[in-house]
């Protein structure tokens, strides 16, 4: 008896999931900027993921998850380290010296790192078209940075945000190539929880900062924990399960213009003409990637 192949997922569902991720991660730089008004970088990361961990525990209790195997704990803590601990502490410290808009741009060097990892570490085939799209997107990123505070403004804070981008790329690659051991919900829950455990080194002094933070900062941190830190990770795991790594990470080039728009509303940051031009270049690179046609596979009759 033949088994029917699984029904292909409707592209609209994938597009909506990608749009949700872009919106959530587009808010993140503004939320971090607000949170840093009352919290140290480490405390902000810990509080954000305590909220995310609580939400993931609620979702897991309703949906049910697979208990991780003991031999997979190093992998899960590796995912938590790259996706949560290293990434968010680095980006919080870096954003102390970089605007929310520029931070979102620097963080989106992730597709470049991801493509390099896909090609040279995991031996995936990356076409010349995709390399060209990555380089075009990177040129747009540089335009946005130059239009924000000038390329000369990229100091140690900017390098920390690039480190955060590299860390995120490692998380994406590990999740894509080893995530088949667990379903998406289990993997995201374990990633968030393990990363939060690693962040507990910042627990001393957290209660004092929570009690002293104003309500608007508390609300911003709560939103950070719920949307970019929990629900967006679930949506991203869903996307990675249905679309290849190089193509999905190119979608993240849409985060900077989204973050710029949100920062202009929440923080009063006003994009320059060069920033707008760079954002258009980034968008073109994403559209160009989606125009790539895979060669037909010819099989013997």
The CA distance from 61 to 158, in Å, is: 39
Q: For residues 297 and 94, which has the higher predicted lDDT (pLDDT)?
A: 94
Confidence band, pLDDT 50/70/90 cuts, at residue 1: very low
pLDDT band at 145 (very low <50, low <70, confident <90, very high): confident
Q: Please determine, for residue 7, whether its predicted confidence score (pLDDT) is greater than 90.
A: no
Q: What is the largest CA-CA distance in the chain?
A: 73
Report d(CA 66, CA 187) in Å as an integer.
9
Please give the residue that has the higher pLDDT: either 40 or 138: 40
**Over the stretch 196-248, which tens digit does the pLDDT of each residue have?**
999 999 999 999 999 999 999 999 999 999 999 999 988 887 887 777 766 67
Contact between 80 and 198 (Cβ < 8 Å) = yes
Burial class (CB in 10 A: 0-12, 13-18, 19+), 213: buried
Contact (Cβ atoms closer than 8 angstroms) between residue 81 and residue 198:
yes
The token duo for 215 is: 């309500």
Distance, first Cα to last Cα, the chain: 23
- 168, pLDDT greater than 50: yes
| Spatial distance between the Cα atoms of 156 and 259, rounded to a whole number of angstroms | 22
Angle, CA 268 vertex, CA 267 and CA 272 arms, to 5°: 120
pTM: 0.82
Question: Which pLDDT does position 123 carry in this prediction?
Answer: 67
Q: Which residues of 87-96 are buried (b: 16+ CB within 10 A; e: fewer)?
A: bbbbbbbbbe
CB 29 within 8 Å of CB 263: yes
DSSP collapsed to 3 states, the chain: CCCCCCCCCCHHHHHHHHHHHHHHHHHHHHHHHHHCCCCCHHHHHHHHHHHHHHHHHHHHHHHCCCCCCHHHHHHHHHHHHHHHHHHHHHHHHHCCCCCHHHHHHHHCCHHHHHHHHHHHCCCCCCCHHHHHHHHHHHHHHHHHHHHHCCHHHCCHHHHHHHHHHHHHHHHHHHHHHHHHHCCHHHHHHHHHHHHHHHHHHHCCCHHHHHHHCCHHHHHHHHHHHHHHHHHHHHHHHHHHCCCCHHHHHHHHHHHHHHHHHHHHHHCCCCCCHHHHHHHHHHHHHHHHHHCCCCCCCCCCC
């Amino acid at each position: 008896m033949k088994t029917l192949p699984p029904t292909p997922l409707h592209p609209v569902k994938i597009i909506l999931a990608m749009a949700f991720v872009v919106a959530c991660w587009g808010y993140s730089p503004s939320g971090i900027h607000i949170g840093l008004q009352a919290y140290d970088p480490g405390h902000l990361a810990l509080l954000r993921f305590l909220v995310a961990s609580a939400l993931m525990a609620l979702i897991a209790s309703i949906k049910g998850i697979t208990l991780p195997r003991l031999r997979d704990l190093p992998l899960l803590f590796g995912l938590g380290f790259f996706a949560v601990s290293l990434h968010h502490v680095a980006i919080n410290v870096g954003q102390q010296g970089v605007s929310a808009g520029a931070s979102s741009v620097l963080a989106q060097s992730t597709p470049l790192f991801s493509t390099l990892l896909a090609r040279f570490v995991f031996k995936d085939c990356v076409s010349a078209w995709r390399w060209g799209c990555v380089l075009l997107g990177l040129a747009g990123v540089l335009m946005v940075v130059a239009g924000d505070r000038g390329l000369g403004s990229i100091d140690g804070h900017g390098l920390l945000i690039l480190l955060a981008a590299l860390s995120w790329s490692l998380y994406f690659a590990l999740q894509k190539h080893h995530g088949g051991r667990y379903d998406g919900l289990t993997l995201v829950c374990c990633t968030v929880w393990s990363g939060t455990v690693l962040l507990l080194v910042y627990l001393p002094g957290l209660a004092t900062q929570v009690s002293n933070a104003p309500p608007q900062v508390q609300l911003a941190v709560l939103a950070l924990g719920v949307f970019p830190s929990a629900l967006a990770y679930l949506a991203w795991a869903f996307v990675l399960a249905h679309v290849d790594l190089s193509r999905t990470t190119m979608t993240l080039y849409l985060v900077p213009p989204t973050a710029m728009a949100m920062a202009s509303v929440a923080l009063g940051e006003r994009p320059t003409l060069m920033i707008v031009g760079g954002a258009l270049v980034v968008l073109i690179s994403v559209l160009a990637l989606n125009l790539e046609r895979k060669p037909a596979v010819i099989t013997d009759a």
